Structure 1
Amino acid sequence: MKSFHGTLLLLACTLICGCAQTQELPQKQAHPNVILMMADDLANEDLSCYGSTRIETPHLDALAGQGLKLNSYYAGNPVCSPSRMALLSGSYPARLGWRWGVMGYGFPPKSGMSPKVYTVAEAFRDAGYRTAISGKWHLGRKNMSPEEQGFESAYYIYMSNNQGRDMYRDGELVQKKWDNRLLTETFTEEVIRVINEPGEDPFFLYVPWTAPHFPADPHPDWHGNSGEDKSGKYTDVVEELDYRVGQILEALDEAGKAENTIVIFTSDNGRQPGQSGPSDKPPFSGGKWQSLEGGTRVPCIVRYPDLLPEDKENNQIVAAIDLFPTLADACGVNIDLPEQSQKLDGVSTWANLRGLKSELARDELLFWHGKGRATAIRSGNWKLHFNYGAKPPEDPELTDGPALYNLKTDPMEKNNVADENPEKVDKLLARAKELLTDIYGNQVPLGTWPGVELEEQPIKASEVWGPWMK
């Protein structure tokens, strides 16, 4: 492991040598802490700062008022496990051997994210950070557990809260069948414990909440506040989550660490079909599992006092795969990928978020349905669906050819303008084919438990991209 003090010396030399080109950071911000929070199945219409009039989220609203609200942020996949793979690896999940579904439903038995994948936690650990997770893992057991993927302190459940709630600390079972109503509170208490740990080294803290993933079981202190039906219970769960975020922000203030901590709040995908929330009109079509905008276009709020704009909105495309290189850039962390690890698909958006660079860091993005088919590509404001996803739930039915939408004027993806723009369709088809050929041709296969071999061979791009890509 690299020493933190050695990293500081290297960073200091870099800043001195590069002061003619870049603005030198204040000393207190040279190596900031990071808290990366990710809700589970939370949609844009669930936060009042993103337009909800039926769910009150004052703490997240305040966080948005102190930082940047990203309006074109995309989760890594429309379902849980591959979305987490993307966030932690900086790569499209298909590049990491993902075929379809999630752990426990779709993944081969005794498999998960390969130990060969170099995670953001490993990069920060190797740079001298204290790394910790408090929340839902959902990426594998044994040699694929959090402890084996860069987290020095790990407090977690292995699966989704509907699949099992056995609680572990650093690989050891703490308690079987943790009360679902108390998970958000419990994970928050662990986050606050890590924040208050003594020591000079900065921390990287990953908080993958289980809320508001089904079943929506409100904490006793919230139960009934919004009614006893599904909608009321869902609202109570989200409003508790907002309160817990407020507790974490308050703990940062009390510890004197708020000014030197990058805080990110986002979600892993859109709302689960059948998960009944309040009936505010969604800004996008689709939800979890789908490659329509509502499947992956989710809230994302970023705060870093003094260096990021306050109370601003950013409309540039930013994806979960970008957070690894972006945070590394912001924190002076080197990404030294081992020889057999993954190729990064993410790019650093740090200069763009700070307003120091007008040229877009990202102008295109690929999409997959949760059942595994590559389905769409976005370039600028244009989004082309080149393959029918799956059902249920289904993406647009493509019977006569690809479907093209202008997201600037048609964010609900209702008005197919492919016939009026044949050259744009051909260009996007060619670009999608180029990207997918590279991704499926340069994969790190899924990992397996020791002694277990995958029976399935790596999938090929031509198996997932549909009939109109030749």
Structure 2
Amino acid sequence: MGSITFSRRQTLAGIGSFSVAAAGAGRAGAAPAGKRPNVVFIIADEMGYGDLSVYGQTDYITPHIDQLAARGVRLTQAYANSAVCSASRFAIITGRYQYRLRGGLEEPIAGASDTLGLPPDHPTLPSLFRKAGYRTALFGKWHLGSLPKFGPTKSGYDVFFGNFGGAVDYFTHKGKVGEKEPEDLYEGTVPVHKTGYYTHLLGDRAVDYIEKAAPDVPFFLSLHFTAPHWPWEGPGDEAVSRDLKDIFHYDGGSLATYAKIVAALDEQAGRVTAALAATGQADNTVIVFTSDNGGERFSKTWPFSGQKTELLEGGIRVPALVVWPGRISPGSVCTQVAAGMDWLPTLLATIDAAPDPAYPSDGMNLLPALLGQAAPHDRTLFWRYKANRQRAVRSGDWKYLKINDNEFLFNVVVDTRERANLAERNPDMLKHLKSVWDTWNKGMLPIRGDSYSHKVTPQHQADHYRAEQTPD
């Protein structure tokens, strides 16, 4: 394993309108003494590891998100819990392997169901913050189950504006094409109609929330963009939206369009950080930026191979940045292996809170590593994905990967492209990682014949739903 290194990076030319000096970023003791920080948790949708210029993108720049890296810490070994979105979001919001819940077996959830969703009584990142006295809000993508059984306001958020499903058209805000199709856009549990590019609308709501925040009550704000997920529509591409015949839009798009989608997201991230500075809240706000899983076909995943739906590094390695003025050293780099389920214990630690003991987190509190107070240490992470019967283990520098009947063993620190299969040279390590995966898998809900499909029998639904109500 590597070690944490702290080095000041030169900010890219034209890095954006948000002034580090104005925000007081990095000043020792910048946060007001004894005051709990606000938290802004930004998630991009299917952003590849190399889709930000601070992570190596050269076709375009992302000045505002790069500024977050300049103000805080950049993680180089952050993973998603799944290679698809809703499964990863189960892990992020619960701090646990998604396979502990029936809905987490869906890869991803793809329709309304009475049982496939995040149980409202399960402790979550927002519900635990609310229990600690925080106001909570989600603007953007939910994708953890449909009304009337499931929803953000049933799982810890006081305020919600966004979409319930996996993707929406950026202009019509529909999950399907057709004049009579309803918009997948809600204010709480009420359908609403709004005009505008979706990424911009989410930025508007986040900025308004920050500007109206009461100074005496801290907030936990989730900003979950659908960008840069398909359909391939930049802010000026409304004509493309009108011509769409299928929101999946597999036959369209381009690298140039993808760049416009990412640029729009970057701009809104800049507006959020500027709003924090303008309202005097930047010094006392923790900001996290990451992605739910690896990138799709237009993403840059270099130096890794693979993409969404694959357990190769490109499908599960994600960008991750954390800012905490006065606590995290600006321009620092952290090599600790991390996972999406780590955000719950880590963010709770920033407010001296902890996970619900009845639902212990499978994640790790990253805060000591992010603060430079602890060297990285080895850990073991597990994945499985029904398509192509994939399974994977990352343990130390080693990774075991199985795709159908093909087995691989890689040193992913040395061989980032996963090209040199060392299985025959290291049979003992291969055997060991297969064994620990089998042991871990026995503790998770099994993948059944009805998994990865919302066409399940009522009896199966009832059985799984009862099982997931019982804490481990």
Q: TM-score, normalised on structure 1?
A: 0.80
Q: In percent, how many aligned pairs have the same letter?
A: 31
TM-superposed deviation, 1:47: 0.8
3-state SS in 2 of match to 1:346? coil
Check conservation: 1:66, 1:310, Cα contact below 8 A: yes
Task: Give the superposition deviation at 1:384.
Answer: 0.6
2:184 matched residue in structure 1: 166
* CA distance in structure 2 between the aligned counterparts of 1:317 and 1:405, rounded to whole angstroms: 16
Q: CA deviation at 1:110?
A: 5.7
The CA distance in 2 between the partners of 1:358 and 1:307, in whole Å, is 17
**SS of residue matched to 1:144:** coil
Give the deviation of 1:183 after TM superposition: 0.6
Q: Find 2:353's aligned residue among 312, 330, 333.
A: 333
CA distance in 1, matches of 2:363, 2:30: 24
Task: Specify the alignment match of 2:129 in structure 1.
Answer: 124
Give the conservation status (yes or no) of the 8 Å contact 1:100–1:370: no
| 1:271 to 1:285, Cα distance in 2 relative to 1, 3 A | same
Aligned residues: 404
Q: 1:111-260 residue pairs with structure 2 within 5 A?
A: 111-141=116-146, 142-162=148-168, 163=175, 165-175=183-193, 182-199=197-214, 200-220=216-236, 230-260=254-284
Distance in 2 separating the partners of 1:377 and 1:29: 41
Worse overlay, 44-53 or 93-102: 93-102
Segments of 5+ residues of structure 1 without an aligned counterpart are 1-23, 390-397, 460-470
Kept in 2: contact 1:222–1:236 (CA 8 A):
no
The answer to whether the Cα contact below 8 Å between 1:289 and 1:370 also exists between their aligned partners in 2 is: no
Q: Are 2:110 and 2:166, in contact at CA under 8 Å, matched by a contact in 1?
A: no
Separation in 2, partners of 1:182, 1:372:
36
Listed one character per residue, the Cα deviations across residues 72-97 of structure 1 (whole Å, up to 9, x for unaligned) are 00112111111111110001111112
What amino acid sits opposite 1:348 in the alignment?
A: N
Quick one: distance in 2 between partners of 1:132 and 1:198?
Answer: 11
1:54 to 55, 59, 64: 59
| Rounded Cα–Cα distance in structure 2 between residues aligned with 1:404 and 1:131 | 43
Q: Distance in 1 between matches of 2:96 and 2:414?
A: 30
Residue-by-residue CA offset, 1:23-45 (whole Å, 9 max, x unaligned) = x9964464110000000111022
The CA distance in 1 between the partners of 2:114 and 2:254, in whole Å, is: 33
SS in structure 2 at match of 1:111: coil
In the alignment, residue 435 of structure 2 is paired with which amino acid? A
Instruction: Report the CA distance between 1:369 and its aligned residue.
Output: 2.5
* Aligned residue among 25, 37, 46 for 2:42: 37
Q: Deviations over 1:375-399 (max 9, x none)?
A: 01001110011x325xxxxxxxx44
CA distance in 2, matches of 1:272, 1:248: 26
User: Which residue identity is paired with 1:245?
Assistant: A
Say if 2:42 and 2:290, in contact at 8 Å, map to a contact too. yes
Preserved CA contact (<8 Å) 1:129 1:202: yes
| Other-structure match for 2:392 | 376
Instruction: Give the match's secondary structure for 1:65.
Output: helix
Report the equivalent of 2:309: 289
Tell me the secondary structure at the aligned position of residue 244 of structure 1: helix
- 8 A contact 1:161–1:214 mirrored in 2: yes
Aligned pair partner of 1:437 in 437, 442, 463: 442
| Structure 2: 5+ residue stretches without partners | 1-28, 169-174, 177-182, 241-251, 466-472
Counterpart for residue 104 of structure 1: 110
Q: Which residue of 2 aligns with 1:66?
A: 71
Question: Which amino acid is 2:318 matched to?
Answer: V
Q: Verify: 1:270 aligned to 2:294, yes or no.
A: yes
SS in 2 for 1:85: helix
Deviation at 1:171, TM superposition (A): 1.0
Change (3 A) 1:54 1:370: farther
Q: 2:366 aligns with which of 331, 346, 349?
A: 349
In structure 1, distance between residues paired with 2:60 and 2:367:
31
Counterpart of 2:149 in 1: which secondary structure? helix
**Structure 2 Cα separation of the partners of residues 101 and 320 of structure 1:** 16
User: Which deviates more, 366-375 or 94-103?
Assistant: 366-375
Secondary structure at 1:52 match in 2: coil
* TM-align CA RMSD: 2.8
Q: 1:370 to 1:354 in 2, by over 3 A?
A: farther
Rounded Cα–Cα distance in structure 2 between residues aligned with 1:233 and 1:303: 29
> Per the alignment, do residues 210 and 359 of structure 1 end up closer, same or farther by CA in structure 2, a change over 3 Å counting?
closer
SS at match of 1:46: coil
**Residue matched to 1:465:** none
TM-score by length of 2: 0.79
AA in 2 matched with 1:327: L
Q: CA deviation at 1:196?
A: 1.6
Q: How far is 1:353 from its partner?
A: 1.0
Q: CA deviation at 1:373?
A: 4.5
